[in-house]
Structure 1
Amino acid sequence: MWSANAIKSRREALSLTLTDLAQRLDVTKSYLSYIESGKRAPTPEQAVLLGK
């Protein structure tokens, strides 16, 4: 299970912008922001992509 903090920390460690990661997940930047803030959970498919 992903925590919102872990997703943001990992994205920043990889020097990815919100836009970069949102494009990889095929979601909007605002939706990814909701995931990173804990307001939404990633779908199982998105969680798999986040694990790569």
Structure 2
Amino acid sequence: MNESLSVEAADDALFLKALGMASYGSMEDRKLSQEAAAEYYWSLFIEPLQR
């Protein structure tokens, strides 16, 4: 799996940002919370099994 998350900062909060390799850019511009990042990784993991 070729995906990574980086920590970025806004004026008032920290958030995670996906590199976008696995999703071909669809998550690239979203600011993810810890829970959303976990759900994103889980969906990448489980997606091949659901095909």
TM-score, normalised on structure 1? 0.26
- Largest Rg, 1 or 2: 2
TM-score, normalised on structure 2? 0.26
- Of structures 1 and 2, the one with the larger relative CO (CA 8 A, separation 6+) is 1
Which structure is higher in helix share?
A: 1
Which structure is higher in strand share?
A: 2
